[in-house]
Amino acid sequence: MGEKEIDLLDLLINIVRFIKRRFLLFTLSLIIGIAFGYVNYSITDNTYSTNVYSSCIDINKQLLYEFINPIKSDILKENYTEASKRLNISSDLVNNLKGFDIDTSWNHSLKINLLVSDINETDSLARSIISYINNIKMIKSVIEKKYNNSAFIISKIENELVRLDKTQELFLKNLENNNSEILISQTANINEQSIRLYEKKLRLEDEILLIKPSEIYSDMEYVFTPQNSLYSKIFYGALGFLFIGFIIAIILEFNAVLKRR
């Protein structure tokens, strides 16, 4: 136990001596790292991250990603001319879009994460992406088909409700003259059917309100997070150059040992 304590003490003493011998090198590395971080921050265009939320019908998520990927690829490659054609906006506007991604895991909603260089153009960029999604032929076809199907079913339910109402009126008139258990049971059964159909009609009417092109929620506020932080640039710059200084110090120490031999 005592020998281990002595070895540990010797190690700490050697580390302190090593730092003292190369203190100037470490200090210089730290200063260069801080300066590098500051310069890097100064010459790098700042970008801001924000989330955009919009309505969206339930569609094949993988297909939506496939339609979006070409634009993401254009932005990544800085092919702004092609991206501007796809989004039907000017090259100057799309130049402010540094990246984006979509999250389709939300029910009846889309979450779009944007990286922008000019926060004042965020709304225009977000709306151009939503417009692009709405103009995809597959999505337009799905919206039309779902709307027509729901509207057709609602129409059939309304016709059936009218028929049941008329039938129930006849049964109620017959009940005035013939208060039989069969007529009472049939009248109750018609009433239950009408309630079930009416509830289904209400559900479909709620659903049909969601079958429409995507649109940004009107009460949404953009919250921006800077991606280019001065403190992080300085911290990582200093850390990186300190590591380089440490490697150089190790090499110098190794050479010094070889010379003494």
The per-residue DSSP string of 67-92 comes to: HHHHHHHHHHTT-HHHHHHHHTS-HH
57 in a domain, yes or no? yes
* Structure letter (DSSP) for residue 106: S
DSSP summary character for residue 88: T
When pLDDT is cut at 50, 70 and 90, the band that residue 240 belongs to is: very high
Report yes or no on 126 lying in a domain: yes
Domain membership of residue 192 (yes or no) is no
Lowest mean pLDDT among 6-15, 78-87, 196-205: 6-15
CATH number at residue 85: 3.30.310
Provide, rounded to the nearest whole percent, the portion of the chain with pLDDT above 90: 14
Query: Is 241 inside any structural domain?
Result: no
Question: What's the whole-number average pLDDT of the chain?
Answer: 83
Q: Is 20 among the domain residues?
A: no
Cα–Cα distance, 155 to 149 (Å, whole number): 10
Position 59 scores a pLDDT of 72
pLDDT grade for 261, boundaries at 50, 70 and 90: low
pLDDT-derived band at 4 (thresholds 50, 70, 90) equals low
Half-sphere exposure of 128 (CA within 13 A, CB side): 21
Which stretch of 81-90, 106-115, 240-249 has the lowest confidence by average pLDDT? Answer: 106-115
Q: Which residue has the higher pLDDT, 10 or 153?
A: 153
Average pLDDT of the segment spanning 174-202 = 77
Q: Which range of residues forms the domain containing residue 117?
A: 48-136
- Average pLDDT on 57-68 reads 78
Q: What counts of helices (H) and strands (E) characterise the chain?
A: 9, 4
How far apart are alpha carbons 65 and 56 in whole angstroms?
A: 14
Distance CA(126)–CA(113), nearest Å, equals 9
- Who contacts 32 (Cβ-Cβ below 8 Å, separation ≥6)? 241
Examine residue 122 and state whether it is found in any structural domain, yes or no: yes
What pLDDT, on the 0 to 100 scale, is given for residue 140?
85
* Pick from 30-34, 192-196, 252-256: least confident: 252-256
Q: Tokens at residue 114, please?
A: 């944007």
* DSSP letter, residue 117: S
Structure tokens at 48: 């801001």
- What are the residues whose beta carbons fall under 8 Å from the beta carbon of 50, sequence distance 6 or more? 113, 114, 116, 119, 122, 222, 223, 224, 225
CA-based max dimension of the chain: 125
For the chain, what is the domain count? 1
- Average pLDDT on 102-113 reads 82
* Residue 201: inside a domain: no
pLDDT band at 44 (very low <50, low <70, confident <90, very high): confident
> Is pLDDT at 57 greater than 60 in this prediction?
yes
Exposure letters 14-38 (e unless 16+ CB within 10 A, then b): eeeeeeeebeebbeebbebbbebbe
What pLDDT does residue 244 have? 93
Domain presence at residue 196: no
